[in-house]
């Protein structure tokens, strides 16, 4: 057989008749993942294997049939068979690679128990099995007798590192989620061992990172592993000449379909027994891409479909990596650099390599070099500093490795040498047979404390709501030293929230290398203080970190980002981050209504009241609305136009609207519409805008935090709150544009307007017009409404004319004690609510409203004898009489 090593295959199927299982399947795996150079052919010594284990006996049943056979395909991706005959069969030339596993299906031994020990405790357990056979999972209980878990361990978390030298192929995972603070962890050991272990005793070592304390816990009790070697079936005697031979028991034929596809055929004998295994070695496969996979296509066989990565490729003969980066502010020992041979023999005898730092940095001292894997033999490599930025390493090996090796360079100490803060230190590694690679070592940082907020969605805190534990919590604020001993805890640290936000509680959530408690913080309204000398850095050579969560209350009239500014003498610089957002639980919407005063039952726009979130408004809570310096009249109607909550009633009392909630919404927030609203206006009101507000009252929403004394400091026994009893929701709900009757004006101004002129004369002074007067088709003198009205109005009346968009639109004139409204297309105007006929309807020309001369004069309070038309001069005059100024 010419290149059977390209696909060396071992097969064993010892047969026994067992009941037919519900699901035909096999347990498949890849023995290992290898790294090679791109386009390299995987050698026999390094090759991974596809392992197909018949744990359910489905293959055995199929092969137990007379002339029984199983066919399935292997498909490569990112790789190809480098050299293989069209069809090959396992013969004597391959028997040195044939690994045959035979299992009798016996159960593993029962677990055993022993006594407790100090520090940690387990039930001593023995795990028994056979190489390449999946074991029955074994449970181990780890009890932390002197400590508890520092954080939650979820079900399925891999804790294999707790079991030093766990046999290859086995894994230890958390069986049941253990909560933070738990003193017991249930662990399950499972998998398929790939190496022999003769009564290996392994202690359980719980790392300090998993514990609330600082020390690692070790138990003297052990888990014992008895893993027997798989039975080897001897090969058959080789045949003579070129005759194809097969090993005993199970003939296997592989037919090459393409360079990436092969058909595997397995023929059984009556001796097959449940638990047999096929081991297909992938020696001779050429890796053509960065990642090579093999897919098992079961066709119609009981073999399970699977895809496995079996190789990764790199460009070059070595892989250079660093264990991790490390920020530094002075001379610092960095993480180790690893240089790994992709294939054995890459490093020549006396291999020379250099480490070169980028500008702005320098080496301090010399690192050490050691071999951490493989068989490369070095004793005392030469390490020389060529200059402050260059180190040369010469290995003292006299022969190449026979097994791919890895060297580790430790003790690499770096300092800045002219670098700017935030510059990154990099080392470029190159050598005789080491591919040039640049690795990042760390960032040069300034002394200080980095302030950050938890990377989560900002929580919503409702304005005016009382602190209710979790509902009023901010994101976690983290203060972390960028360099050790940056936080001067012998000085005061301050945390300042915006005005309108008060902190009710501080919780220390995380605390690394610092001693500080919740009670160490002084709360004074929106300012939190960590007094000088209260907190203590445990180890000044290490960086400290503190995580804080705040409970807050927000004033009814505060909305927007809830920020905190962190600073004070202890930190020097100040930083600001956002920890939450404040949102009003109610929004109120209404169109602006322009009115004239001194009239009862003045109709105003509808009011829309919206709930911010379903279920936010509770039964018996109230919404109280007030119009500034005005009183709502009875007769207002309320209906829920959206949402699934209910309101009990609507009352109007002493000019205030009160809505009482009867039941909460559950799925959709409520929207309440108030219609038929009217106001009573006092005749002494000055012109201007008047607001619609929410006000405090019995059960009023948004005013849960009301405190007339505005209590906020600890001396008030934590009586927090705000002296806010009103919040403006619509600032221009009503516009009063005319003064009271006692403030009315007498029209004495002389105004002369000439047709087609861009000027008019007002009391003898020229005033520019943006649009001229004109004669209509029916001979009427059309005057620009805004220009004439503004010329006649008192300077204190800032909005004598208003345009209300609509279909059709409406023109409003506010002059003295008069409010005049005219609608496009209508020949009726309303003066203080009284209909007055016009000679023709107002029109829009060049975006300006025009009225007939006499209609505009009457609207402004003129009689007919105060209005003149000179046909010869084509001029219209208001107040042509002697009383003009």
> CATH no. for residue 819?
3.30.457.10
In a domain, 114, yes or no: no
Q: Which residues of the chain have pLDDT under 70?
A: 1-24, 55, 64-67, 83-124, 214-215, 220-221, 229-251, 268-276, 468-470, 596-601, 683-684, 710-719, 737-748, 794-796, 881-885
Check residue 34 and give its pLDDT: 83
Sheet of 545-554: strands edge to edge?
449-453, 477-481, 545-554, 501-512
Last residue of a domain, one of 408, 443, 478: 443
Check residue 719 and give its pLDDT: 61
Domain shared by 480 and 544, yes or no: yes
Check residue 541 and give its pLDDT: 83
Check residue 3 and give its pLDDT: 36
Cis peptide before 808 (omega within 30 of 0): yes
Q: How far is CA 741 from the centre of its chain?
A: 63
Domain shared by 153 and 215, yes or no: yes
Q: How far is CA 111 from the centre of its chain?
A: 45
Check residue 123 and give its pLDDT: 66
Can you tell me the distance from the alpha carbon of 88 to that of 294, in angstroms, rounded to the nearest whole number? 19
In a domain, 630, yes or no: yes
* Three-class SS state of 730: strand
Query: Number of folded domains in the chain?
Result: 6
pLDDT one-digit tens code per residue, 803-837: 888 778 889 988 777 888 999 889 998 888 888 88
C-alpha pair distances (Å), 223 with each of 110, 162, 173, 201: 13, 11, 15, 6
Last residue of a domain, one of 226, 257, 281: 226
Check residue 82 and give its pLDDT: 72
In a domain, 634, yes or no: yes
Which residue segment(s) compose the domain that 200 sits in? 137-226
User: Which domain CATH number covers 634?
Assistant: 2.60.40
Domain shared by 238 and 291, yes or no: yes
Domain shared by 22 and 165, yes or no: no
Domain shared by 866 and 747, yes or no: yes
Domain shared by 307 and 339, yes or no: no
Check residue 98 and give its pLDDT: 30
Check residue 179 and give its pLDDT: 87
Last residue of a domain, one of 583, 617, 649: 583
Can you tell me the distance from the alpha carbon of 671 to that of 616, in angstroms, rounded to the nearest whole number? 12
Domain shared by 468 and 557, yes or no: yes
Phi/psi for 329 (5° steps) reads: -120, -5
Q: Which two tokens stand for residue 258?
A: 């393409």
Q: Which two tokens stand for residue 527?
A: 């300012």
Domain shared by 285 and 260, yes or no: yes
Can you tell me the distance from the alpha carbon of 824 to that of 712, in angstroms, rounded to the nearest whole number? 58
Q: Give yes or no for a contact between 233 and 248, defined as CB atoms under 8 angstroms apart.
A: yes
Domain shared by 727 and 601, yes or no: yes
């Amino acid at each position: 057989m010419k290149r059977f090593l390209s696909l060396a295959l071992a097969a064993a199927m010892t047969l026994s008749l067992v009941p037919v299982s519900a699901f035909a399947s096999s347990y498949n795996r890849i023995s290992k993942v290898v790294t090679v150079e791109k386009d390299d052919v995987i050698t026999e010594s390094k090759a991974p294997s596809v392992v197909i284990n018949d744990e359910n006996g489905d293959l055995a049943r199929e092969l137990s049939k007379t002339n029984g056979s199983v066919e399935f395909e292997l498909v490569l991706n990112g790789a190809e068979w480098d050299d293989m005959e069209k069809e090959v069969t396992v013969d004597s030339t391959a028997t040195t690679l044939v690994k045959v596993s035979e299992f009798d299906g016996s159960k593993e031994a029962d677990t055993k128990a022993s006594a407790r020990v100090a520090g940690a405790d387990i039930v001593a357990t023995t795990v028994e099995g056979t190489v390449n056979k999946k074991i029955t999972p074994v449970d181990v209980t780890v009890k932390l007798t002197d400590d508890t878990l520092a954080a939650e361990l979820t079900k399925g978390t891999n804790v294999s590192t707790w079991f030093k030298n766990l046999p290859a192929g086995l894994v230890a995972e958390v069986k049941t989620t253990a909560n933070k603070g738990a003193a017991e962890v249930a662990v399950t050991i499972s998998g398929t061992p790939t190496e022999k272990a003769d009564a290996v005793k392994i202690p359980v070592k719980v790392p300090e990172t998993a514990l609330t304390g600082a020390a690692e816990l070790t138990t003297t009790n052990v888990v014992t592993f008895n893993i027997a070697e798989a039975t080897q079936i001897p090969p058959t005697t080789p045949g003579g000449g070129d005759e194809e031979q097969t090993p005993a028991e199970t003939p296997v034929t592989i037919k090459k379909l393409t360079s990436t596809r092969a058909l595997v055929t397995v023929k059984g004998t009556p001796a097959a027994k449940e638990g047999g295994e096929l081991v297909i070695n992938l020696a001779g496969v050429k890796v053509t891409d960065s990642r090579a996979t093999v897919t098992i296509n079961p066709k119609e066989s009981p073999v399970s479909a699977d895809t496995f990565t079996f190789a990764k490729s790199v460009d070059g003969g070595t892989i250079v990596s660093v264990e991790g980066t490390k920020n530094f502010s002075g001379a610092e020992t960095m993480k180790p650099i690893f240089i790994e041979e992709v294939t054995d023999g890459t490093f020549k005898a006396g291999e020379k390599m250099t480490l070169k730092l980028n500008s702005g940095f320098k080496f301090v001292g010399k690192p050490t070099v050691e071999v951490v894997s493989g068989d490369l033999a070095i004793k005392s490599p030469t390490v020389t500093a060529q200059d402050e930025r260059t180190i040369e390493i010469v290995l003292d090996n006299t022969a190449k490795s026979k097994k791919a090796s890895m060297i580790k360079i430790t003790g690499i100490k770096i300092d800045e040498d002219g670098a700017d803060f935030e510059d990154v230190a990099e080392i470029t590694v190159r050598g005789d047979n080491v591919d040039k690679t640049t690795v990042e070592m760390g960032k040069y940082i300034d002394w200080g404390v980095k302030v950050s907020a938890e990377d989560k969605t900002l929580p919503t805190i409702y304005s005016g709501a009382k602190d209710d534990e979790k509902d009023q919590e901010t994101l976690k604020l983290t203060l972390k030293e960028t360099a050790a001993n940056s936080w001067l805890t012998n000085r005061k640290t301050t945390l300042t929230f915006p005005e309108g936000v008060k902190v009710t509680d501080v919780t220390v959530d995380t605390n690394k290398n610092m001693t500080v408690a919740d009670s160490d913080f002084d709360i004074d309204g929106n300012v939190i203080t960590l007094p000088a000398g209260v907190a203590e850095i445990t180890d000044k050579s290490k960086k400290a970190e503190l995580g804080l969560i705040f409970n807050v209350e927000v004033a009814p009239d505060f909305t927007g980002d809830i920020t905190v500014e962190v600073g004070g003498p202890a930190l020097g610089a100040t930083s600001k981050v956002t920890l939450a957002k404040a949102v009003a639980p109610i929004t109120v919407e209404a169109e602006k209504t322009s009115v004239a005063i001194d009239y009862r039952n003045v109709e105003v726009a509808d009011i829309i009241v919206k709930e911010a979130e379903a279920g936010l408004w509770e039964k018996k809570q109230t919404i109280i609305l007030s119009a500034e310096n005005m009183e709502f009249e009875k007769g207002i109607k309320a209906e829920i136009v959206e949402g699934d909550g209910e309101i009990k009633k609507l009352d109007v009392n002493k000019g205030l609207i009160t809505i009482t909630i009867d039941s909460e919404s559950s799925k959709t927030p409520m929207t309440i519409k108030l219609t038929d609203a009217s106001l009573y206006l006092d005749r002494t009101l000055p012109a201007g805008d008047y607001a619609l507000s929410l006000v405090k009252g019995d059960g009023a929403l948004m005013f849960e935090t009301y405190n007339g004394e505005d209590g906020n400091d600890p001396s008030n026994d934590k009586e927090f709150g705000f002296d806010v009893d009103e919040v403006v929701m619509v600032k221009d709900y009503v516009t009063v544009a005319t003064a009271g009757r006692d403030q009315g004006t007498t029209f004495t101004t002389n105004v002369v307007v000439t047709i087609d002129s861009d000027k008019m004369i007002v009391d003898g002074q020229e005033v520019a017009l943006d649009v001229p007067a004109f004669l209509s088709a029916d001979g009427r003198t059309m005057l620009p409404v805004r220009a004439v009205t503004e010329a006649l109005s008192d300077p204190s009346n800032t909005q004598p004319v208003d345009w209300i968009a609509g279909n059709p639109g409406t023109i409003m004139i506010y002059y003295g004690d008069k409010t005049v409204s005219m609608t496009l297309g209508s020949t009726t105007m309303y003066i203080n609510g009284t209909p007055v006929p016009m000679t023709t309807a107002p029109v829009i020309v060049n975006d300006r409203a025009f009225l007939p001369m006499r209609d505009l004069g009457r609207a402004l309070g003129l009689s007919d004898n105060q209005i003149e038309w000179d046909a010869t001069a084509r001029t219209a005059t208001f107040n042509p009489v002697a009383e003009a100024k």
